[in-house]
Amino acid sequence: EAEVAQSPRYKITEKSQAVAFWCDPISGHATLYWYRQILGQGPELLVQFQDESVVDDSQLPKDRFSAERLKGVDSTLKIQPAELGDSAMYLCASSYPTGTSGRISYEQYFGPGTRLTVT
Amino acid sequence: GNSVTQMEGPVTLSEEAFLTINCTYTATGYPSLFWYVQYPGEGLQLLLKATKADDKGSNKGFEATYRKETTSFHLEKGSVQVSDSAVYFCALNNAGGTSYGKLTFGQGTILTVHP
């Protein structure tokens, strides 16, 4: 069964350092999402791609976070500089549309996540 | 905007007990509703979904019915097992416009099942 791949699984970094996460979605999934999940809370969307284009980055802290999906396949999320408050699980998901016109649904498949600890 | 509210946990049950986790939502239009499960140290797995009013999603003994009149999507299971211990998230998305399925999650409910 196809899966969303993420690396690394765990990352410890010092504050003010740069850190990057990688995601490879399920083949054929045009939509890719990056979520941040703080311990004890539900995931919150950081950025959403449709193919190589950003369609929603309203919650992405753009002064320190950046994301790209250059060829519309895999994606990288970067933080520079990292802050203590960035410690969280970073989840990547991909989806495809199902259903018929007027009732289209997007079923998202999540990767295992990257647990970031900033010290 | 969209929002999802789940019953506060944690929920602790004995094996074979009946489970209900309440979920209510606020959304424009006609959202699709989902339940996701997260086991310790792992990502989220889709448990079940419903895309229109009165639909019932079901999987692995879990069920939830899309109730538009009460804006609810409560998760139920008749007999829980120790292996069901996890965090459960209720979520919704709107597929209209350019949202492309952006999910809005509840805060999650921790379920612990004891033998």
User: Which pLDDT band, with edges at 50, 70 and 90, does A102 fall under?
Assistant: low
Average pLDDT estimate for A81-107: 86
| Cβ pair A32, A94 in contact under 8 A | yes
E strand spans, B53-108:
56-59, 62-65, 75-77, 86-93, 103-105
Q: Looking at residue B112, what is its pLDDT? A: 97
Q: Distances from the Cα of A87 to the Cαs of A3, A11, A115, B37, in angstroms? A: 25, 10, 8, 22
Q: Would the CB atoms of B51 and A103 count as touching at under 8 Å?
A: yes
Q: Would the CB atoms of A95 and B100 count as touching at under 8 Å?
A: yes
Task: Name the more confident of A86 and B40.
Answer: A86
pLDDT(B88) > 90 = yes
Interstrand relation of B11-14 and B109-114 (parallel, antiparallel or unpaired)? parallel
Q: Looking at residue B97, what is its pLDDT? A: 56
**Pick from A96-105, B81-90, B104-113: least confident:** A96-105
To the nearest whole number, what is the mean pLDDT of chain A? Answer: 92
**Pick from A92-101, B61-70, B81-90: least confident:** A92-101
- C-alpha to C-alpha distance for B5 and B26, rounded to whole angstroms: 9
Helix (H) / strand (E) containing A76: strand A75-79
- B49–A contact, CB cutoff 8 A: yes
Q: Would the CB atoms of B44 and A56 count as touching at under 8 Å?
A: no
Helix (H) / strand (E) containing A100: none
- B1–A contact, CB cutoff 8 A: no
pLDDT(B105) > 90 = yes
pLDDT (tens digit per residue) in A49-71: 999 999 999 999 999 999 999 88
Beta carbons within 8 Å of A62's beta carbon, 6+ residues apart = none
Q: Which amino acid is it at B109? A: T
Facing residue for B106 by CB, picked from A42, A45, A109 = A42
pLDDT(A34) > 90 = yes
Residue A84 exposed, middle or buried by CB count within 10 Å (0-12, 13-18, 19+): exposed
User: Which pLDDT band, with edges at 50, 70 and 90, does B110 fall under?
Assistant: very high
Q: Would the CB atoms of A33 and B103 count as touching at under 8 Å?
A: yes
Average pLDDT estimate for A24-45: 93
| Residues of A with Cβ-Cβ distance to B100 under 8 angstroms | 31, 48, 50, 55-56, 95, 106
Task: Give the residue from A53, A98, A10, A112 showing the smallest Cα distance to B34.
Answer: A98
Interstrand relation of B44-50 and B32-38 (parallel, antiparallel or unpaired)? antiparallel
CA of B72, closest CA in chain A: separation in Å? 18
* Chain A residue at shortest CA distance from B104: A44
**Pick from A71-75, A80-84, A101-105, B101-105: least confident:** A101-105
| Cβ pair B108, A41 in contact under 8 A | yes
* Chain A residue at shortest CA distance from B108: A42
Average pLDDT estimate for B3-10: 90
Q: Looking at residue B99, what is its pLDDT? A: 61
| Residues of A with Cβ-Cβ distance to B52 under 8 angstroms | 103
Backbone angles phi, psi at B25, to 5 degrees: -140, 160
| Cβ pair B77, B18 in contact under 8 A | yes
Q: Looking at residue A107, what is its pLDDT? A: 82
